[in-house]
Structure 1
Amino acid sequence: MKNLKQLLERLEYECVQGSLDKEITDLVYDSRKAATDSLFVCVKGTTVDGHSFAADVVQKGATVLVVSEDVNVPETVTVIKVADTRYALALLSAAWFDYPAEQLKVIGITGTKGKTTTTYMVKSILEGAGYKVGLIGTIEAIIGDKVIPSANTTPESYLIQKYFREMADIGCDCCVMEVSSQGLMMHRTAGFTFEMSIFTNIEPDHIGPNEHASFEEYLACKSLLFRQCKIGILNADDKHYQDILKDHTCTVETFGFSKEADLRAENMQLIHKPGYLGVAYHVSGLLDFDVEIDVPGKFSVYNSLTAIAVCRHFKVEVDVMKKALKCAKTKGRIEMIKVSDEFTLMIDYAHNAMSLKSLLSTLREYEPGRLVCLFGCGGNRARSRRFEMGEVSGQMADFTIITSDNPRYEDPQAIIDDIKTGISKTDGKYVEIIDRKEAIRYAIEHGRPRDVIVLAGKGHEDYQEIKGVKYPMDERNLIAEVLQELQTQ
């Protein structure tokens, strides 16, 4: 039970009806969970408006409604009017869970690319230094030994506060979390102050229906994070980083290759050994040491440098950083799987043209014998993605293996035909194999010395969605099965 006045203490509101002298049994924003003496927040979604369920939740026993527009309910029901119910939900949730973020150092990471990998790097380093670290991100939330698969990069504010409470209760010192532009726009991270906020980079993305109206709006939403933190750490190499700092209220630090950056990467070297790709560089500026990462590419330098910039504030020793970065892995993000001493095979989540182009460009820098790209495209999604990804792979890979990836309610062959339309604009060679396991078998059986083979699109996903059903399918298991079957032939 919580006192209504206490829940409202940090919120600007008008009580338009009823009494504030009430005890609340539960805070809900899903009408199906309304119960006796609960408080219901009428949140406006993209397809459903919580205000339309006002009468329904009152019938179920809700005694307090938080609204942003007029509702018609009995006079015994308390109605609290606010400017924005999503923002109100965030502050009410923080109060409901007794402000758990105040017991944690919360690190928020925003940017178009690099959020997921960087959160795991930060977690790995801090845990190596003895800190107890929670994580909230695209793949999962991690609270001690508990792992919760994620539905959104940044969960609803109620869930964030619930996770914070659980983290604080088991003795976590800090939480590292991905902060999406959508999450910021929808006030999911309102109601607390980040210890640190990090900006990795920004490119045109998430622009369209139900996302952002323009790149300018996308940029503006990202910038909100730097009005809600104590320390801002930004990529000085990104041309928009000064825009991100508009109206900031934090102490600012920078990182990057730029000589003006506070923490710099110098003397980058690509490392290519049989079955292994990596990168080494020298850290200078605020710190001074050499580091090697078992993940390829210039963006791995950015990700690791970001993690170093964060962990410097936790007084982590250099040797601990170097050791943690050497073994830090992120499921489905350039995740190398050892299958041969002659060629390299990896799994990556790249599932649109922009991310695939970035990935293949990175791998091309290692001058592979052949660059082989295996991918498919999801059904019931924009067909343009198929043409674009086909064209990118045709241009940048030496060989493409077209296969299935969540066909959903579409015919897998129809999706493959669209991809082939994209490839036909190039001189790229390809083969089509609908069954993903058989496509992986083909890739492994036909691997040549110094090949780099990337299985793109699935990443951390462990299912294949066909006609509304998610069937278990983890590429790591498929690879293991193929290797075992090849050994017994």
Structure 2
Amino acid sequence: MNSRTLISQLKIKTAYGTFPDTVTDITTDSREAGPASVFVALRGHQVDGYSFIPKAIEAGCRFIVTDRYIEIPEDAGLLIVRDPSKVASLFSEYIYDFPHDSQTMIGVTGTNGKTTVATMIHNLSRSLGKNSAYLGTNGFIINEDRYDSINTTPETTKLHKRLKEANDAETEVFTMEVSSHALKLGRTFGIDYDITIFTNLTQDHLDFHNTMDEYGYVKGLLFSQMGQDVRDRKYIVLNNDDEWSERYSGMTPHEVITYGLDGTADFWPSDIEGTLEGFNFTLNTPDGPFKINSPFIGYFNIQNLMCAIISEWLQGYSLGRIAAAVSAMEPVEGRLEVLDPHLPVDIIIDFAHTPDALDKIIDTVEPFVTGRMIFLVGMTGERDMTKAAEMGRISTRADYAIFTPDNPANDNPKMLVEALEQGAVHDNHRSFIDRAEGIQHAIDISEPGDTIVLACKGREPYQIMEDYVKVPHRDDLIALDAAYRKYRSEEYDYDGD
């Protein structure tokens, strides 16, 4: 990309020095900068990219974008702009040649269910024979190839780079989770979505958004930013059971499709039957009823699955063909996932970390519990502490609750578990400041027929500890190791088959 072409896109700017003739890359991370890069210095919550400009220049970068003056070498160019974040998005589009234009772009937002819905869409797209990409909490996936991703929705230059990688792989659909942080910080500026989906809105992230109203309206940016040109066939999929959907419907001129658990929605289920191996139901639609056999557990997963089904229907697939593809799908990893069903206890992991999500897990699992329900929950460090007591209360709906930290970061783990304890409604609980010890305890006290639920982390592969150091940790592997050691003993009739 010609540097002059990039600079000419801006009306308000001040340029100093000498810019390279062409650039092929853009980044906000000085460690990734090089001679062919644009380095954009962003102000973050913990660090200011301005202070890393010298490192970017040292690495050979000669095109710097910032909002303040800084001395640079004579052979480098400094572009001072009002909003580096918007410029990063704009330049990314041009450098990577608008990579979303050739893909069906699907954005999923909401407090709970983003990962499940986006993963379901990706897997369903693959079952229907399409090249597909997914980006979110579970990483970055192109077809079956998986790559790590730091944030649910990456910073804008990384996001556009992912879009280009997917486009280079000739993907037909790109489904991404869109977090409220990303919307507020402008990470998705420039992304032209074809389909957007809303799951639900419940208390979370009030450490970042201050009020539920602010949180809700920030989520609404996803819909309001889809544009006014109704010649573009775009669709918004809204949860008819959530009151925020009515407000979101009024934020866009594009057609709204609703889903919900009763007949007032465009898509709704009836004749629901379920086990811990999956829920089956009749899906009532504008095209008539269709029988759905799914590997997903719980009423909220029926809602999530409806989102995925609707997204494929909006892309032109018949509901009969979609229903057949659903029956071949696999459960979503780490989301109400039953570990080794051959064990004499049911061990379930899930990512739920809000009061509403914890309630829904217990509602879903409770009918299938034959012994005791042992429920482990963690409180995340440096986050909204106002939800901790309510999470503790909900956890003690179970017969036995275990409280642990979850990614404590620089918060005191003891303080985090004490905050959960404040909500307990019975004394049948125990706290651990080490989550792995809490999981081991859950297995130790279990007996055949019990159900153990490990909430908050799913298959997240680390704990964020002091100074934001990521320490390897997997709930599922810790639990299975403990269960195999216990239940493969002579006392229990289990051989691991």
Question: What does the per-residue CA deviation read over 1:142-189, in whole Å, with 9 as the maximum and x for residues that have no partner?
Answer: 024431222211011111111111111122111111011111122211
Q: Whole-Å Cα distance in 1 between the matches of residues 488 and 285 of structure 2?
A: 48
Cα deviations across residues 186-242 of structure 1 (Å, max 9, x unaligned)? 22112231121111222232122xx22332322222222223442222222221113
- Checking the alignment, whether the CA contact within 8 Å between 1:128 and 1:320 is kept in structure 2 is no
Match status 1:239 vs 2:246: no
1:351 to 346, 350, 353: 353
Go from structure 1 to structure 2 and tell me whether the alpha carbon gap of 1:132 and 1:403 turns closer, same or farther (over 3 Å shift).
same
**For 1:470 and 1:79, how far apart are their aligned partners in 2?**
35
Identify which range, 118-127 or 373-382, moves more after superposition.
373-382
Q: Which is worse superposed, 253-262 or 65-74? A: 65-74
**3-state SS, counterpart of residue 269 of structure 1:** strand
Closer/same/farther in 2, CA of residues 113 and 169 from structure 1, 3 Å limit: same
Whether 1:265 aligns to 2:268 is yes
Please report the TM-score for the alignment, with normalisation by the length of structure 2. Answer: 0.84
1:253 aligns to what? 257
Contact 1:397/1:428 (8 A) holds in 2: no
The one-character-per-residue Cα deviations of 1:238-276 (angstroms, maximum 9, x if unpaired) are 2111322344243322222354433x213252423xx54
User: Residue 49 and residue 343 in structure 1: after superposition, are their counterparts in 2 closer, same or farther (change >3 A)?
Assistant: closer
User: Structure 1 residues 475 and 206, CA, compared in 2 at 3 Å: closer, same or farther?
Assistant: closer
- The SS at the match of 2:293 is strand
State the percentage of identical aligned residues: 28
Partner AA of 1:237 in structure 2 = D
How do residues 390-405 of structure 1 correspond to structure 2 at under 5 angstroms?
390-394=392-396, 396-402=397-403, 405=406
Question: 1:86-485 alignment to 2 at 5 Å?
Answer: 86-208=85-207, 211-229=208-226, 230-262=234-266, 264-272=267-275, 276=277, 278-326=279-327, 327-340=329-342, 344-364=346-366, 370-378=372-380, 387-394=389-396, 396-402=397-403, 405-406=406-407, 416=417, 419-423=420-424, 426-431=425-430, 435-442=437-444, 445-448=446-449, 451-464=450-463, 470-485=470-485
In structure 2, relative to structure 1, the CA distance for the partners of 1:97 and 1:429 (3 Å cut) is: same
In structure 2, C-alpha distance between the alignment counterparts of 1:179 and 1:410, rounded to whole Å: 27
Specify the alignment match of 1:7 in structure 2: 6
Distance in structure 2 (CA, Å) of the matches to 1:343 and 1:57: 54
Contact 1:143/1:163 (CA < 8 Å) preserved in 2?
A: no
Distance in 2 between residues matched to 1:96 and 1:368, nearest whole Å: 58
The residue type equivalent to 1:345 in the other structure is: I
Task: Say which is worse superposed, 67-76 or 225-234, in terms of deviation.
Answer: 67-76
Q: Deviations along 1:439-470, whole A, 9 cap, x unmatched? A: 24225x4143xx54311122112335566665
Separation in 2, partners of 1:470, 1:65: 31
- Following TM superposition, by how much is the alpha carbon of 1:335 offset from its aligned partner in structure 2, in angstroms? 0.6
Structure 2 residue identity aligned to 1:300: N
Question: Whole-Å Cα distance in 1 between the matches of residues 338 and 483 of structure 2?
Answer: 15
> What displacement does 1:64 show?
3.0
Relative to structure 1, is the Cα distance of residues 447 and 192 closer, same or farther in structure 2, using a 3 angstrom cutoff? same
Distance change (3 Å), C-alpha of 1:380 and 1:45? closer
- For 1:185, the aligned partner's letter is K
Q: What is the Cα-based RMSD across aligned positions, in Å? A: 3.2
Question: Which runs of 5 or more structure 1 residues have no equivalent in the other structure?
Answer: none
Counting matched residue pairs gives 477
Most deviating of 91-100 and 474-483: 474-483
Q: Structure 1 pair 201/324, CA: closer, same or farther in 2 (3 Å)?
A: same
2:65 and 2:170 mapped to 1: Cα distance? 33
Cα offset, 1:9, TM superposition: 6.0
